[in-house]
Amino acid sequence: MNEMFLPMQVSSTALEAQKIRLNVIASNIANASSTKTPEGGPYRRKDVLFKTVMFGESAGGVEVPQVVEDQSPFRSVYDPSHPDADNKGYVSYPNINVLTEMVNLMTAQRSYEANLTMISSYKDMYMRTLDILKV
């Protein structure tokens, strides 16, 4: 790819990665109370892994090679009336802290917005350069 458009390519990879991250976070929040999944047991929090990809020797973007499950323990709550309670009356809830997920959501949103701003600024700068070069 033409090196002139590398900054846009780098930011576009970041936009795609943050979009995936936003979807994963939304899924975590939506399933914060899911005590039973089709696989059995409570929903397990998911997280996104990022990987650097290089465009040439000096510019790098980002990609999401995989979404992984958080292996931290489930929350255990005493509620003997719950249909998913064990024989001691405890229910296993997902390993999701909604406050942490909200902070992650805000961070991902800000990263997404920053990359959109960078693309917009670069486009404006490129267009101004073309206007200047029109003689």
Per-residue pLDDT for 6 more than 80?
yes
Whether residue 86 is contained in a domain is answered as no
**What pLDDT does 7 receive?**
85
Closest C-alpha to 88, from 97, 96, 75, 79: 79
Whether residue 53 is contained in a domain is answered as yes
Whether residue 109 is contained in a domain is answered as yes
Whether residue 11 is contained in a domain is answered as yes
Q: How many CA atoms lie within 13 A of 93 on its CB side?
A: 17
Number of separate domains in the chain: 1
For the stretch 13-59, pLDDT in tens is 999 999 999 999 999 999 999 999 998 899 999 999 999 998 777 77
**What pLDDT does 58 receive?**
72
For the stretch 74-119, pLDDT in tens is 999 999 999 999 999 999 999 999 999 999 999 999 999 999 999 9
Whether residue 60 is contained in a domain is answered as yes
Whether residue 85 is contained in a domain is answered as no
Position 130 confidence tier, pLDDT thresholds 50, 70, 90: confident
Strand residues in 45-115 grouped as ranges (E): 46-55, 59-69, 75-78, 90-93
Enclosing domain of residue 103:
3-70+96-133
**What pLDDT does 135 receive?**
58
Whether residue 8 is contained in a domain is answered as yes
Whether residue 113 is contained in a domain is answered as yes
Highest mean pLDDT among 50-54, 92-96, 121-125, 126-130: 92-96
Q: What is the pTM for the complete model shown?
A: 0.86
How many other CB atoms are found less than 10 A from the CB of residue 131? 8
